[in-house]
Structure formats: structure tokens, C-alpha cells
């Protein structure tokens, strides 16, 4: 899978604040790529640089392995930070401008995206009369206009109600299935975990990790066990060895093994031989949220 | 170019302030000229000796071909109105953050400033069209015996356009750099109405001959006062004739200043973070 966006050593400072420090990553074609990070980690700065809104102090980027040119952005449907539209114009008039600048879509396509984002009934209302959620939906509609090859969405679920959030999630999954590359920045880790194939985690301008979701989450095997005799179980596991750490929880224990070394069958057998009957044996996947906090907490 | 024009029209055509400006300009330009025409009419219409002398002295500044000169001069007092619109059009882009969105959607930074250059050109053209209509209207009404001289002073049409475009470009530069509508308008009005006039007066008092190179004075010098102003004594005549000889320099200076303004805008926008 070749990269649709390559970022090479990008740095950016705002005065004394270093917003990005030598960030390099590649976004594969057809991926749903989540960019995560706490507030101020540099997610929006990074997105703004690759859209030519901000100028990097150093480093470079290229879309589609081509030299940077404004026409490249016409192939990208973008929602960056806030919905940016002319307040005195209606949804249709605003999308006409998006269409005229980007060359994506047509009058029929405008109606189609307004239908997708459920704004058909209000399509002639002025943007200034929209609620926050409606403005956000219009921005998503503008990004979708004319079936772009890439969608770049910065906090796309801002201002949406739970139904709206679920709809956007379903929409992203549907679009990803069609092969559209989707780059998404969000605080909603649960949402990201549900829809992303790849992630990058930023903290204070540093890229902490990047890769497929499975690669990022699975740097160790976690086995969760429980038995009536919890202290006996712990002793039994310790006798067996091979683990990197053990964590005792309220009514179960978690055993951490180096990646690929946990053998659930052998564990079960060992405990049984020692007279301990397990009532829980689970290969647990670390949640993105857990991983995120692990990486971003000082 | 055509694509940029089309997109700017999409932005402007439903912008209420644009139509308000157009309406006000359409009323104001005939209004101010009508006021001066009435003064002229009152002075010259009687049969007294004084009326005849005034008529002889003033000629008919609203008849062809002088109408283009006279109407251009009086109309140019109201560049403030389109200037407000120009400032609104650029500061709106910042307020709505569409200056970022236009780039995100696929414009280059040059295209964005190019589109604003087109806005200023469109507004200057519309204002010039209103001026031409008013000048022709007065020319037809004022004296039918001079209709055949309608084409003698058409040079005031491009001169009026150049002056309007130059002064609106200054307004644009302010809006572009300041970003906030009310602050930019405040600075524009304060400089245009007060600061530059004080500076001109001060430089004249100190006999330092650089007042005509100040930003607005530079283009004001393109449209000198109507010809009758030079008929009130030797000093007035001398001043008027000097102003006429300087028009050429003022035109060159205005073109250079305006080109510099747009060069600055293009260059700054190329390097600026679009925050």
C-alpha cells in the first residue's frame, strides 16, 4: 500500500512554543488514519500545514507523491477546526462556492450531500441561522461534495448529538469501504478505535507512535484470569514465570507477557495441575484509551 | 481569471452591503453634483450684469465636454462609500475564516489575493459607470448646444477609474493588514479625513513640496479642480495650470503606489500563516 501523504521532519513553532517537533509519518492509501493527541499536541497544526494554511518552519510533505500544488487540495474534502462559510449565504450558495473553487461536484451532487447530512429542508436558510450541529453537518457535506479521493476531518463530530455522532461514524465506515482514504483527528478515542485502521499519537508536538491500530495497541499480551482462590492463582502464575508483570485487580489478575509469548492453553493446564480451577481466562486487548493515557501521561 | 470573477460574483451578489453601497452611490453621485449644479444655476440664471459675468467666468462646467471633469471631481469626494464595502469584503473573509477555506478548497494564495484585486476592480468599475451616467446626464441636461462636444474630455473616465481604484486599493491594504472591520474603517477614516489633511497643511506651511506624494494626495492630484477654479485671479490661474502640468506625474506616481500596494499584498499572503 503506497503512501497518499508523506510527512518528512515537519517542525513548527509559535514564538517560544514548539507546536511540532520533527514529525514524520506516512498515511497509506485507503486507510482510515486517526491522529490523536491531547489539546495542544499539534494535531490541527499538522493538518493546517499539509493544507497550506500554515507554513512549516522546516520539513516537507507531499500528497500523492507529487510536488505540492494547490490543485492537489481539490482532490481532498476537508473539515478543519470549524465550519467556515459565508454567513449571509444559504447552504446551497455556500456549496456552490465550494464547487466552483474545488471543481468537485455539481448541482445534483450538492442536493445529494445535503440529503446525506440531512439539511435538505433547510438548504435555503442562511448559514447564520443554523445551529452549531447544522453548521457542522454542512461542513461535513462540503467535505463530501463530489466524492473526493481523500477526506480530512478535524473533530468531525463536534457539536453533533449522539445520533449524529453515530451517523457520522457509519458514514465514515461506508466511505472507507469504498476505498476513500480518511484522515481524522478526534478526542473521541472510542470512536477512533471503532473506525480507524491506523493511528498516530502526538503529544506536545512529538510523534509518540504511529502504525496500524493493532500494532500500536499490541506491544504486549494481556491475559486476564480469575479463580475462587485468587492468592493461590497469583502464586501459581508466579511459579510458572515468563511474564513481564502482574497486576492484581479486585476479583481477578492481569498478567502481562512480551508480545506473542502468552500461551493460554499452557497457563490453563498449569493452573489445573496445581489444583486451581479458573473461572476466567481471557486474552485481553488493550483499549486505545488505555494506550493513549499510557503514552500521553507524564 | 473568468473563474475567479465568477466565484467573486457568487460571494458578492447576495451580500446586502454590496447592494446598499450601490444604492447609496447611485443616489449620492447625482446628489452632490446636483447640489453644485443648483449653485451654478442660481448664480448664472438671472439677467443681471453680475449673472452674466459669472456665466462668462464659469462657463458651463456641467455641459459637454466639461461635465466629465466636473462630475469626476465632485464625485471623487465620496470614495469613502465604496471604501467601506472594500474593507468589509476582505475583513468578512477573516471573520468567517473563509480566507482559509478558499485555500483548503483548492485556491492558491495568489488566486485568493487575485480574487480580491478583481473585487476592487469590479467596485471601481461600477462606481465609474455610475459617474459616467451622471456626467452624461448632466451634459445632456445642462446645454443642448454643446452635445456635439461630448467626446472631447473622455480622458476623465480612465482618470476617475484610476483614482477610485488607487484609493480603494489603500482601503483594501488596511483591511487586509488589520483584519478587523471596525478598526480598519476607523484608521481609514481617521487618516483620510484628518491625518493626511493635517500633514498636507503642515507641509504647505513649511513649504516642503512633498505633500502631493502622500497616499491619497497622490491620486487626488489626478483629478484637478474644474477649469472655472482657475479663472478667479492670477494666483488661481497659476495654481490651476501648475496642477494640470503635474497630472502626468501624479498618474505615474499613483500607478506605482497602487502596484506597490498589490505587490505587498501578494507577497505577504504568500508567506503568511492563515490563522
Residues of chain B neighbouring A149 (CB-CB closer than 8 A): none
Q: Please check whether residue A74 touches B, CB under 8 A.
A: yes
Residues of chain A neighbouring B275 (CB-CB closer than 8 A): 54
Helix segments in B96-220, DSSP class H: 98-104, 109-142, 156-178, 181-189, 196-205, 215-220
pLDDT at A13: 95
The CATH number of whichever domain residue A245 belongs to comes to: 3.30.70.100
Distances (CA, A) of A72 to A6, A100, A148, A150, A281: 14, 15, 11, 10, 51
Helix (H) or strand (E) run with residue A135 in it: helix A132-144
pLDDT averaged over consecutive 10-residue blocks of chain B (275 residues)?
Answer: 93 93 91 90 78 76 90 92 94 96 96 96 95 95 85 92 97 97 96 94 90 94 84 77 90 97 97 90
Contact B203, B210 (CB under 8 A): yes
C-alpha torsion angle, residues B157, B161, B163, B167 (rounded to 10): 160
Shared-domain flag, residues A169 and A228: no
Report the C-alpha gap between A152 and B32 in whole angstroms: 54
B75: its cell numbers: 464625485
pLDDT at A298: 63
Q: Is B29 exposed, middle or buried (0-12, 13-18, 19+ CB in 10 A)?
A: buried
Helix (H) or strand (E) run with residue A43 in it: helix A43-50
Shared-domain flag, residues A277 and A156: no
Tell me the ipTM for this assembly: 0.89
Q: Could you say which DSSP state residue A127 is in?
A: G
Task: Report CB contact under 8 Å: A86, B98.
Answer: yes
CA atoms within 13 A on the CB side of B93: 26
Full residue range of the structural domain in which residue A178 is found: 3-216
Shared-domain flag, residues A111 and A224: no
Q: Please check whether residue B13 touches A, CB under 8 A.
A: no
Is the torsion defined by CA of A269, A274, A279, A282 positive or negative?
A: negative
Residues of chain B neighbouring A51 (CB-CB closer than 8 A): 103-104
Candidates A71, A80, A97; nearest CB to B11: A97
List of E strands, chain A: 3-14, 17-28, 32-36, 58-63, 76-79, 150-154, 181-185, 198-203, 206-212, 220-227, 245-248, 253-258, 278-284
pLDDT, one tens digit for every residue, chain A (298 residues) = 689 999 999 999 999 999 999 999 999 999 999 999 888 899 999 999 999 999 999 999 999 998 888 999 999 999 998 999 999 999 999 999 999 999 999 999 999 999 999 999 999 999 999 998 899 999 999 999 999 999 999 988 888 888 888 888 888 888 888 889 999 998 777 778 788 899 999 999 999 889 888 777 766 788 899 999 888 999 999 988 888 888 888 889 989 888 778 888 998 999 999 899 999 998 877 777 777 877 777 6
What does the pLDDT look like over A183-233, one tens digit per residue? Answer: 999 877 777 878 889 999 999 999 988 988 877 776 678 889 999 988 899
Return all residues near A266 (Cβ < 8 A) that are at least 6 apart.
none
The CATH number of whichever domain residue A211 belongs to comes to: 3.40.50.300
Query: Comparing C-alpha atoms, which of B132, B138, B135 is closest to residue B41?
Result: B138
Residues of chain B neighbouring A70 (CB-CB closer than 8 A): 103, 106-108, 111
SS (H, E, C) A150-215: EEEEECCCCCCCHHHHHHHHHHHHHHHHCCCEEEEECCCHHHHHHHCCEEEEEECCEEEEEEEHHH
Shared-domain flag, residues A132 and A74: yes
Report the C-alpha gap between B1 and B6 in whole angstroms: 9
Shared-domain flag, residues A251 and A209: no
pLDDT at A17: 92
How many folded domains does chain A comprise?
2
Q: Could you say which DSSP state residue A126 is in?
A: B
Dihedrals phi, psi of A248, to nearest 5 degrees: -95, 120
Shared-domain flag, residues A181 and A287: no
Query: Comparing C-alpha atoms, which of A56, A122, A125, A58 is closest to residue A90?
Result: A125
For B274, name the nearest residue in chain A, comparing CA atoms only. A53
Candidates A84, A89, A102; nearest CB to B100: A84
pLDDT at A148: 95
Report the C-alpha gap between A82 and A71 in whole angstroms: 22
Shared-domain flag, residues A240 and A172: no
Shared-domain flag, residues A42 and A147: yes
Shared-domain flag, residues A232 and A271: yes
Q: Which of residues 97-136 of A touch B (CB under 8 A)?
A: 97-98, 100-103
pLDDT at B46: 74
Max Cα–Cα distance, chain A, nearest Å: 76
**Of A216, A248, A275, which marks where a domain is finished?**
A216
Q: Is B85 exposed, middle or buried (0-12, 13-18, 19+ CB in 10 A)?
A: buried
Shared-domain flag, residues A136 and A44: yes
Query: Comparing C-alpha atoms, which of A85, A154, A97, A88 is closest to residue B97?
Result: A85
Candidates B97, B100, B105; nearest CB to A98: B105
Task: Report CB contact under 8 Å: B10, A103.
Answer: no
Max Cα–Cα distance, chain B, nearest Å: 72
Shared-domain flag, residues A173 and A278: no
What is the DSSP code string of B45-100? SS-SHHHHHHHHHH--TTSTTHHHHHHHHHHGGGTHHHHHHHHHHHHHHHHTTHHH
Report the C-alpha gap between A85 and A142 in whole angstroms: 10
Task: Report CB contact under 8 Å: A73, B105.
Answer: yes
Strand order in the sheet with A220-227: A245-248, A253-258, A220-227, A278-284
Q: What is the CA radius of gyration of chain A?
A: 24
pLDDT at A295: 75
Contact B135, B67 (CB under 8 A): yes
Report the C-alpha gap between B31 and B43 in whole angstroms: 19
**Of A197, A216, A235, which marks where a domain is finished?**
A216
A296: its cell numbers: 500521553
- Judged by phi (left if over 0) then psi (alpha if -120 to 50, else beta), residue A220 lies in beta
Shared-domain flag, residues A198 and A280: no
**Of A187, A216, A245, which marks where a domain is finished?**
A216
Is the torsion defined by CA of B159, B160, B166, B169 positive or negative?
A: negative
pTM above 0.90, yes or no: no
Amino acid at each position: 500500500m503506497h503512501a497518499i501523504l508523506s510527512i518528512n521532519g515537519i517542525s513548527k513553532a509559535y514564538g517560544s512554543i514548539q507546536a511540532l517537533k520533527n514529525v514524520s509519518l506516512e498515511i497509506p492509501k485507503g486507510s482510515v488514519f486517526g491522529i490523536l493527541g491531547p489539546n495542544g499536541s499539534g494535531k490541527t497544526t499538522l493538518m493546517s500545514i499539509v493544507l497550506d494554511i500554515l507554513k512549516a518552519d522546516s520539513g516537507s510533505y507531499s500528497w500523492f507523491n507529487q510536488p505540492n500544488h494547490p490543485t492537489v487540495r481539490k482532490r481532498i474534502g476537508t473539515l478543519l477546526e470549524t465550519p467556515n462559510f459565508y454567513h449571509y449565504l444559504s447552504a446551497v450558495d455556500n456549496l456552490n462556492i465550494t464547487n466552483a473553487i474545488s471543481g468537485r461536484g455539481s448541482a445534483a451532487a450538492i442536493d445529494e450531500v445535503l440529503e446525506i447530512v440531512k439539511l435538505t429542508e433547510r438548504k435555503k436558510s442562511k448559514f447564520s441561522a443554523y445551529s452549531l450541529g447544522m453548521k457542522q453537518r454542512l461542513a461535513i457535506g462540503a467535505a463530501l461534495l463530489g466524492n473526493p479521493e481523500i477526506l480530512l476531518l478535524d473533530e468531525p463530530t463536534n457539536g453533533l448529538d449522539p445520533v449524529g455522532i453515530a451517523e457520522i461514524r457509519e458514514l465514515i465506515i461506508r466511505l472507507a469501504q469504498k476505498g476513500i482514504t480518511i484522515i481524522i483527528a478526534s478526542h473521541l478515542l472510542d470512536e477512533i478505535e471503532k473506525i480507524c485502521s491506523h493511528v498516530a499519537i502526538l503529544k506536545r508536538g512529538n510523534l509518540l507512535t504511529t502504525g496500524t491500530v493493532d500494532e500500536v495497541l499490541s506491544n504486549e499480551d494481556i491475559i486476564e484470569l480469575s479463580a475462587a482462590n485468587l492468592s493461590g492463582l497469583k502464586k501459581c502464575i508466579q511459579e510458572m514465570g515468563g511474564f513481564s508483570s502482574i497486576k492484581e485487580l479486585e476479583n481477578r489478575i492481569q498478567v502481562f507477557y512480551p508480545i506473542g509469548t502468552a500461551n493460554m492453553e499452557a497457563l490453563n493446564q498449569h493452573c489445573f495441575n496445581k489444583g486451581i480451577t479458573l473461572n476466567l481466562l481471557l486474552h485481553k486487548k488493550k483499549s486505545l484509551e488505555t494506550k493513549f493515557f499510557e503514552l500521553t501521561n507524564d | 481569471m473568468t473563474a475567479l470573477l465568477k466565484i467573486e460574483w457568487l460571494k458578492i451578489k447576495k451580500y446586502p452591503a454590496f447592494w446598499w453601497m450601490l444604492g447609496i452611490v447611485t443616489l449620492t453621485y447625482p446628489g452632490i453634483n446636483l447640489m453644485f449644479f443648483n449653485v451654478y444655476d442660481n448664480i448664472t440664471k438671472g439677467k443681471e450684469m453680475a449673472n452674466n459675468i459669472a456665466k462668462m467666468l464659469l462657463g458651463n462646467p456641467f455641459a459637454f465636454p466639461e461635465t466629465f471633469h466636473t462630475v469626476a471631481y465632485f464625485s471623487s469626494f465620496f470614495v469613502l462609500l465604496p471604501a467601506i464595502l472594500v474593507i468589509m469584503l476582505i475583513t468578512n473573509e477573516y471573520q468567517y475564516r473563509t480566507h482559509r477555506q478558499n485555500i483548503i478548497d483548492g485556491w492558491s494564495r495568489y488566486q485568493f489575493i487575485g480574487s480580491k484585486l478583481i473585487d476592487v476592480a469590479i467596485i471601481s468599475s461600477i462606481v465609474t459607470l455610475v459617474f459616467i451616467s451622471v456626467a452624461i446626464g448632466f451634459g445632456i441636461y445642462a446645454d443642448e448646444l454643446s452635445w456635439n462636444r461630448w467626446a472631447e474630455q473622455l480622458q476623465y473616465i480612465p482618470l476617475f477609474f484610476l483614482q477610485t481604484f488607487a484609493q480603494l486599493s489603500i482601503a483594501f491594504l488596511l483591511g487586509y493588514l488589520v483584519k478587523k472591520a471596525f478598526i480598519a474603517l476607523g484608521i481609514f477614516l481617521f487618516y483620510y479625513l484628518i491625518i493626511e489633511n493635517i500633514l498636507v497643511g503642515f507641509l504647505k506651511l513649511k513649504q516642503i513640496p512633498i505633500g502631493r506624494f502622500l497616499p491619497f494626495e497622490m491620486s487626488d492630484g489626478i483629478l484637478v479642480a474644474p477649469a472655472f477654479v482657475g479663472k478667479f485671479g492670477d494666483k488661481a490661474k497659476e495654481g490651476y495650470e501648475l496642477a494640470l502640468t503635474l497630472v502626468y506625474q501624479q498618474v505615474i506616481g499613483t500607478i506605482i503606489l497602487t502596484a506597490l500596494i498589490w505587490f505587498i499584498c501578494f507577497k505577504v499572503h504568500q508567506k503568511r500563516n492563515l490563522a
